[in-house]
Amino acid sequence: MRKIGQKIKNLRLQKGLTQEELGERTDLSKGYISQLERDLSSPSIETLFDLLEVLGISPHEFFAEGVPQKIVYTQEEATVSVDMERGYHVSWLIPESNEKKMEPVLLMLEPNGAFKQYEPSAAETFVYVLEGTVTLMFGAHTFEAKTGEALYYLATEPHQLKNLTERPVRMLVIATDSYL
């Protein structure tokens, strides 16, 4: 079994908390959190349960051994949505991706098709063009990427992906917040 301290540290990092923030939420000092994470000190059961509650995990999950995270996803697990009127097919590749930090989708735009238009947000978006040429309408600017090229942008402007050609476009799109 992995040491308790390392598991606490991993969970804290996954939640994006500093030692100080975790300490504030559990009424523990940053120094004590540091000692716990280095297994220099052992928490009482009550303290451990308080930490786990803040870290969003049950004691059962925390102590479970050999419960691996899901790593491989099959095509059958993808969720597909088609909008014939707007000319797009989107496949959410990871079923619970809207609960994660990244949301990978496979997007196909029919000739003269367009995906949804989005308002500015804190998202970062990566688009890799597998086939064809895609146009990104980004605020008052227009960008184009063709097969083998990528787009990467902070979604600070209204934006939309379009296919302004007579050939289908296939692309992998990964956004850092769940707005797809």
Q: Strand, helix or coil at 170?
A: strand
The CATH code of the domain that includes 58 is 1.10.260.40
In this predicted structure, what is the pLDDT of residue 99? 65
Residue 68 forms part of a structural domain = no
**Is residue 16 located within the same domain as residue 79?**
no
pLDDT of residue 77: 87
Q: Which of 5-9, 63-67, 112-116 is most confident?
A: 112-116
- As a whole number, mean pLDDT of residues 65-92 equals 86
Q: What are phi and psi of 29, to 5 degrees?
A: -80, 155
Residue 69 lies in a domain: no
Instruction: Check whether residue 90 and residue 43 sit in a common domain.
Output: no
- pTM of the full structure: 0.64
Note the pLDDT of residue 71: 82
Q: Give residue 1's pLDDT.
A: 44
Tokens (6 digits) for 79: 């969720």
What's the rounded Cα separation, in Å, for the pair 20 and 30? 5
List the CATH number of the domain containing 79. Answer: 2.60.120.10
Q: What is the pLDDT of residues 125-145, one digit of tens each?
A: 999 999 999 999 999 999 999
Q: d(Cα 77, Cα 94) in Å, to the nearest integer?
A: 7
